[in-house]
Amino acid sequence: MDKKKRNGSLYTFLYAAILVTVTAALLAFVSEVLRPRQTANRKEETRQSILRSVHLEGKTYEKYIKDTVVGPQQLPLYICTLNDGSRKYIVPLRGKGLWGPLWGYMALNADGQTVYGADFDHQAETPGLGAEVSSLDFSAPFSGKSLYRDSVFVSIAVRKQSGKAKGNPNAVDGISGGTITSRGIEDMIRETLAVYLPVLKTILQEKTNEKTHLP
Amino acid sequence: MKKRTFLDPLFKTSPIPVLALGICSALAVTVKLEPALVMALAVTLVTGFSELILSLLRHTIPNRIRIIVQLMVVATLVILVDQVLKAYAWEISKQLSVFVGLIITNCIIMGRIEAFALKNKPLPSFIDGIANGLGYGMVLVVVAVVRELLGEGTLLGYSVVPEKWYVAAGGFYENNGFFILPPMALIVVGLMVWIYNAKNAKSVWNN
């Protein structure tokens, strides 16, 4: 095509209009066609994350986990029954990191005070730094930690511990170079559990009462 | 077609140290080796195919809106790939999710389209794209190896420095935390700029 015509206003407008229409149609079409598969993947991802928080990655979700809502605020809660019959209470967590949302699942033991396991994920944290929260290296040390100190709720600190975190039941090591994300995780756990723990306490008390009242 | 189309971007006119393209993402994703490799692969594919497509379109694009047209083609391509991966390769797409924005804004892609694809035939353009992606990837990998090794004592997440060397275990060694922070990326990239240019300065600038 000759150069003069290519620089005319009419040609430029038409070209832009056609390009926009074609790409928009293409993207809309692809998005529609692929949506069911993407939704299924996302759902499976959530289920695996819940299973990871109780150290059962790759197992059948329906066999172990029951979805329910609890308390007057209808808070979502996942109850996991392990093979030995013991119950774990999995709390969904939502918070914010440096660039976007953080989320995760924390499984509590039946005493409602100690952590059985946890799993975290993020949308857009920095690769190699904040993004490490989704790794097992980060989430594994949460197992066995306590949310209480001298019967007072103190949650779990996610800070630089200089190797002392192993001896401290209320702290885990943060991520070097990912301080804001680490703090995001810390705030997320404290804020969510502050809401959940009173509700969970009531449920657990009812459970123990049931047991003691049985003949 | 010349052999130089492929080899020059790898050694002589490498995008980061010589053309000064793509520096921002080189600082962002080189904390560890794994994200650096993922990024290098993604950028190589995107530069290759966007140069190919735009070279095919080069005689039709109106001059006044050519940058916008380039941007649209690149963005559409990246979003398409991301959508397909989300449906058929969920794990890989999770790895890539944070990079999608960085790929589109990578100046290597727009820079090479503007400088090469709009003036050359489709096949050389495709090769130029792939070679520039690889040249970019090589620098990324070197910087990431230096930073992960000295900053965390690991490579691809595996420990390289023996456990008993560390001060905590009674040894003499400690990781240098400075390497995982952005300023050290700038210094390592700066050293590479120096090395590349000291070796090639004459041949590049005389051409």
B162/B65: higher pLDDT: B65
The per-residue pLDDT for A4 is: 67
What average pLDDT score do residues A188-204 get?
90
- In angstroms, rounded to a whole number, what is the distance separating the alpha carbons of residues B44 and B121? 19
Name the CA dihedral angle for B141, B142, B148, B149, rounded to a multiple of 10 degrees: 140
Q: What 8-state DSSP symbol labels residue B117? A: I
CB distance from A1 to chain B under 8 Å?
Answer: yes
As a whole number of angstroms, the distance between CA B60 and CA B196 comes to: 38
Q: Distance between CA B198 and CA A102 in Å, rounded? A: 45
In angstroms, the CA B178 to CA B4 distance is 38
Q: Which amino acid is at B199?
A: K
Coil, strand, or helix at residue B42? helix
Q: Is B76 within 8 Å of A177 when comparing Cβ atoms? A: no
> A126 to chain B: which residues are within 8 Å by CB?
28, 31, 98
Residues 6+ apart with CB under 8 A from B98: A124, A125, A126, A127, A131
Q: How confident is the model at residue A47 (pLDDT cuts 50, 70, 90)?
A: very high
Residue A101 pairs in a beta bridge with A96
How many angstroms separate the first and last alpha carbons of chain B? 18
Of B19, B23, B7, B31, the closest CA to residue B114 belongs to: B19
Instruction: For residue B160, give how far its alpha carbon lies from the nearest alpha carbon of chain A (Å).
Output: 17
Reported as a single tens digit per residue, the pLDDT across B80-93 is 888 888 888 887 77
**Over 60: is that where the pLDDT of B181 sits?**
yes
Please answer yes or no on whether B84 and A34 come within 8 Å at the CB atom. yes
| Closest approach of B8 to chain A, Cα-based (Å) | 30
Contacts with B72 from chain A: Cβ below 8 Å: 19-20, 23
> What is the Cα gyration radius of chain A?
24
For residue B63, give the nearest of A6, A123, A129 by CB distance. A6
Q: Is the CB of B91 inside 8 Å of chain A's CB atoms? A: no
Q: What is the pLDDT of residues B100-143, one digit of tens each?
A: 777 877 888 888 888 888 889 999 999 999 998 898 888 889 98
User: Between β-strands A157-159 and A171-173, what pairing exists: parallel, antiparallel or unpaired?
Assistant: parallel
Angle B137-A131-A119 from CA coordinates, rounded to 5°: 140
Q: Touching check for B31 and chain A: CB below 8 Å?
A: yes
Give me the residue from A31, A124, A176 closest to B98, CB to CB: A124
Q: B156's torsion region: left (phi>0), alpha (psi -120 to 50) or beta?
A: left
* Interior angle at CA B8, CA B5 and CA B14, nearest 5: 125
H/E segment holding residue A20: helix A9-53
Which run of H or E residues covers position A87? strand A87-96
Q: How far is A17 from chain B (nearest CA, A)?
A: 11
Nearest to A23 by CA among B70, B119, B89, B90: B70
Cα A87 to Cα A53: distance, rounded to the nearest angstrom: 13
Q: pLDDT band for position B202 (50/70/90)?
A: low
Contact residues on chain B for A101, CB-CB shorter than 8 A: none
Confirm or reject contact between B159 and chain A (CB < 8 A). no
Query: Which range is least confidently modeled, A74-78, A140-144, A173-177, B118-122?
Result: A173-177
Of A1, A12, A37, the CB nearest to B59: A1
Residue A215 has pLDDT above 60, yes or no: no
Higher-scoring residue by pLDDT: B203, A189: A189
Measure the CA–CA gap between A17 and B113, rounded to whole angstroms.
22
- How do residues A149-188 score in pLDDT, each as one tens digit? 888 899 999 987 766 667 788 899 888 888 999 999 999 9
Does the beta-carbon distance from B177 to A11 stay under 8 Å?
Answer: no
ipTM: 0.70
A62 Cβ contact partners less than 8 Å away, ≥ 6 residues apart: none
> Considering only CB atoms, which chain B residues are within 8 Å of A30?
80, 83-84
Judging by DSSP bridges, how do beta strands A157-159 and A152-153 pair with one another?
unpaired
- Residue of A78, A86, A85 lying closest to A52 (CA atoms): A78
Residues 79-138 in A contacting B (C-alpha not used; CB under 8 Å): 123-129, 131
A-chain residues near B53 (CB < 8 A): none
Can you tell me which residue has the tokens 């230096």?
A: B146
Phi (first) and psi of residue A102, to 5 degrees: -115, 150
**Non-local CB neighbours of B21 within 8 Å, separated by 6+ positions:** B15, B107, B108, B111, B112, B136
- Tell me whether B84 touches chain A (CB under 8 Å): yes
Closest Cα in chain A to B181: A177
Nearest-CB residue to A12 (from B64, B76, B181): B64
Q: What is the token pair recorded at A23?
A: 């790409």
pLDDT > 90: what percent of chain B?
11
Predicted structure pTM score: 0.73
Interchain CB distance below 8 Å, B180 and A45: no
Cβ-based contacts of A27 with chain B (< 8 Å): 76, 79-80, 83
Residue B56: what pLDDT?
A: 92
B60's tokens: 């039709």
